[in-house]
Chains A and B, each alone.
Chain A
Amino acid sequence: MSNDPIHQFHINPISPPIHFGAIDATFTNASLFMVAGVAVASGFMAWAMRPQALVPGRAQSVAEITYGFVHGMVRDAAGDEGVKRFFPFVFTVFMFVFAANMIGMFPYWFAPTGQIIITASMALMVFATVLIVGFAKNGFKFLKLFVPSGVPWYILWFVVIIEIISFFSRPLSHAIRLWANVFAGHLLLKVIASFVPMMAAAGGMLVLGSVIPLFMTVAIYALEFLVAFLQAYVFAMLTCIYLNDALHPGH
């Protein structure tokens, strides 16, 4: 059914089945649009920076502003050491999420960030990076992350448990935030847009009324572009904040 609002999130294989042992690695439309996201992000940066002019042209200044924006974000959240260690990672994450969100805005195209498995695997990648870098850099001092200073000993054990649960709930809320925004936005767009043909088909005064959901669709579309940028920014920002904990575990 073409009016099914969930239909846009269906994953369909577009290649013959590929299996590596128990792993199903079939190339699907989700894979295609993730590859497209990587291609758009890296292709744009490579193309825009090709002149390497001292006085940048239009495309080059867009690329440089993006670079400076993420650079400032990492420096604010994680300090100069964070820039040295994590800037390429955060920049890659930001560009990928932003490109994937923007690609998802095209009608009939697929939004990869509307799949929770994709946001969850990125959030778990950040989580694993925090754990590995934290233990590699600080050793067992990394566990000080769970022990806030200045707490009397009789409630300390309770606070430690709370901090541990809070730490493990991070990748979940990190993944859910991006996914829920993209998913809910696209769902809302589809539902409101489907009111237009429904009201137009109903006849009578409702044909004139079908202009209202049309305008709402346009307005929500504009809002979705804002959300696409904002959620990429929030995702990268939270990545910086969590990575900062790996570098400086003491509160």
Chain B
Amino acid sequence: MDFASAKLIGAGIACIGMGGAGIGVGIIFGNFLQGALRNPTEAPKQFGNLIFGFAVTEALGIFSLAIALILLFAAPH
């Protein structure tokens, strides 16, 4: 296998990590909505925690996106 195609395959594999981040973000927002609909008046106070959880989870997905983009555009030849 030549180097160029190995790079492309590696980028594709790295993007699988985004799927994990998608699952995590879905769990976070799903559970937040469940809690928020049970107790709507308390929900806005937890907005910061929600965004914190979203950011930390999504950051892991962004790491894999960064790896994929580095493989595609910034890898040494």
User: Is there direct touching of A and B in the complex, by C-beta distance under 8 Å?
Assistant: no
Residues of A within 8 A of B (CB): none
